[in-house]
Amino acid sequence: MPAKIAIIGAGTTVFSLSMIRDLCLTPSLAGSTVHFMDIDEDRLNSAHALCERLAAEAGAELTLLKTKNRREALLGADFVILAALVGGHQRLKDGWAIARKHGYRFGGSLHIVHDEGFWINYCQLELMEDVLKDTLEICPNAWFMLVANPVSAGVTYLKRKYSKANIAGFCHGSNGVRYIARRLGLDPNEIEFEVPGVNHFIWLTEFKHKGEDAFPVLDRWIDEQSEAHFRECRDCDSMGPKMVDLYRKFGAYPIGDTGNPGGGAWGHWYHADDETERKWKEDPAEWYEGYFRHGEEEARKIKSIAEDKTRAVSEMISMTHSKEPMIPFIEAIVCDSPRTIILNILNDGNFVPGIPQDFQVEVPCRVSAAGVEGLPTKGLPQPLLSFALRDRVAPIEIELAAFESGSRELLLQLIMMDPWTRSIEQANALLDDILSLPYLSGMKERFGTTAKV
């Protein structure tokens, strides 16, 4: 059955190609229309042209449209995928350079030296709300699929304020369990698992292979093979010494962006200084440099293929499913083919005990034409629940209160929650410098230069 899908931020070519590839590999959605929208005309044209070529190579029955007008893209949409990052990665780099000047490191809060910097989130939350309001006006029954960060703050804020909207947040971090399974010699297609938590803080608490507990297999690998792996790997984030140490400490295994060198880089004690990071084979700065380099290389490859129409697009993107959850989510709803997908939703069914019920959680959900039904989990071990409340829930609550009120004082309190903040003077200096970035003039005007009580 066909669907109408709008991709906002479709100029992110690798993402758009991945979505179209997965759509090509889903015959039940033949005849669907995808409307590409981006404000950058060159990126939009490039992504659209490459995706059209990929669909043609695959012999897929799809209609691919393009526009710079967001409201046009939303007309008749059944699904709205928000993948846009306001200002791109350069804004992250600018803010991180300022933060490092003021003594901040990776491994602290999500909101400073991380890809959910408070200055990034401010612009993202504005965009998310604007797109959702247009969606509710133009295609009110559509599913608003939040892919862009900050997923946790976005789902929490939007669902609280627009309770009747169909909203689901997406993250591929849970696919880290599949990597672990392969490392252990287990078939990823024959595992069952639970990874409850909040976005960028999820933990493997249930792990079975062919119905049998697989934690003993993981324990044997740690006892017998992990040290050799640690010696050989240069950047072994998902199965590295820090991740194993966290598992030993808490009895649950950190998954995805919970603790890897990029992502959340939790907890900060592994990142106290350069020597400590070397001990744990952690190098978040290099991890991100590699991430950015890879993006630049992909962009060059895309440009090369876009300019040479004799080359197959499939040279750069293999025709195997990405295992991303977005197209399976759409298929489950459109074709009423029920399946369980890990999503980010409100905890209004106490799916992760101990997390506030009006806050986002990442949990398995039953998805079908009837919608999305969160499934209960056993939750997190008490110490991890306490850390989730302190390091994820509390800062986001302060951030959202600041966003809604325009209070500089609340922004300062958010900065004060970062483990690397040592004084109010340091926090003020950081905030002043961030708000002086030329493209944040609107944010500076809103939050001012003196505290609002």
Residues whose CB is less than 8 angstroms from the CB of residue 347 and which lie 6 or more positions away in sequence, other chains included: 355, 356, 357, 358, 359, 360, 361, 374
Q: Which of 354, 374, 394 is the C-terminal boundary of a domain?
A: 374
Tell me how many domains the chain contains.
2
Q: Is residue 389 part of a domain?
A: yes
pLDDT tier, 263 (very low <50, low <70, confident <90, very high otherwise): low
Q: Helices 118-138 and 394-405 meet at what angle, rounded to 10? A: 70
152-179 average pLDDT score: 96
Per annotation, catalytic residue among 89, 172, 229, 268: 172
Range of the domain at 352: 4-87+107-174+317-374
H or E element: which one contains 335? none
- Model pLDDT, residue 236: 67
Q: Say yes or no: 403 and 321 in one domain.
A: no
Q: Say yes or no: 442 and 337 in one domain.
A: no
Q: Is residue 56 part of a domain?
A: yes
Q: Which residue has the tokens 């990442």?
A: 362
Q: Which range (153-162, 252-261, 434-443) has the least confidence?
A: 252-261
Consult the annotation and say whether 171 binds a ligand: yes
Q: Say yes or no: 394 and 331 in one domain.
A: no
Q: Is residue 329 part of a domain?
A: yes
Catalytic-residue membership of 172: yes
The dihedral formed by the CA atoms of 87, 399, 431 and 122, expressed in degrees to the nearest 10: 20
- Model pLDDT, residue 235: 63
Q: Say yes or no: 153 and 32 in one domain.
A: yes
The pTM for the full model equals 0.95
Mean per-residue pLDDT of the chain: 94
In the predicted model, is pLDDT for residue 453 greater than 50?
Answer: no
Q: Is residue 391 part of a domain?
A: yes
Q: Say yes or no: 366 and 408 in one domain.
A: no
Consult the annotation and say whether 365 binds a ligand: no
The token duo for 246 is: 């966290």
CA dist 350 and 348 (Å) reads 6
Instruction: Decide: 186 and 177 in contact? Cβ < 8 Å.
Output: no
Q: Which range (255-259, 351-355, 360-364, 372-376) has the least confidence?
A: 255-259
Q: Is residue 210 part of a domain?
A: no
- Model pLDDT, residue 295: 84
Rama region for 323: left / alpha / beta (φ>0; ψ in -120 to 50; rest): left
**Strand intervals (E) in 312-426:** 339-346, 360-368, 371-374
3-state secondary structure of 114: coil
Q: Say yes or no: 345 and 406 in one domain.
A: no
Q: Is residue 211 part of a domain?
A: no
Catalytic-residue membership of 257: yes
Q: Say yes or no: 410 and 351 in one domain.
A: no
376-394 average pLDDT score: 97
Centre a 10 Å sphere on the Cβ of residue 45 and count the other Cβ atoms it contains.
Answer: 15
Q: Which of 374, 394, 417 is the C-terminal boundary of a domain?
A: 374
Q: Say yes or no: 83 and 157 in one domain.
A: yes
pLDDT tier, 353 (very low <50, low <70, confident <90, very high otherwise): very high
Consult the annotation and say whether 260 binds a ligand: no
Q: Say yes or no: 60 and 123 in one domain.
A: yes
Q: Say yes or no: 32 and 154 in one domain.
A: yes
In the predicted model, is pLDDT for residue 452 greater than 50?
Answer: no
Q: Is residue 395 part of a domain?
A: yes
Q: Is residue 15 part of a domain?
A: yes
Q: Say yes or no: 393 and 419 in one domain.
A: yes
Q: pLDDT > 70: what percent of the chain?
A: 98
Q: Which range (216-220, 229-233, 369-373) has the least confidence?
A: 229-233
- Residue 261 — φ and ψ, nearest 5°? -55, -30
Q: Say yes or no: 134 and 39 in one domain.
A: yes
- Model pLDDT, residue 233: 78
pLDDT tier, 182 (very low <50, low <70, confident <90, very high otherwise): very high
In the predicted model, is pLDDT for residue 39 greater than 50?
Answer: yes
- Residue 363 — φ and ψ, nearest 5°? -145, 160
Per annotation, catalytic residue among 94, 237, 257, 283: 257
- Model pLDDT, residue 199: 96
In the predicted model, is pLDDT for residue 383 greater than 60?
Answer: yes
Here the CATH number for the domain that contains residue 327 is: 3.90.1820.10
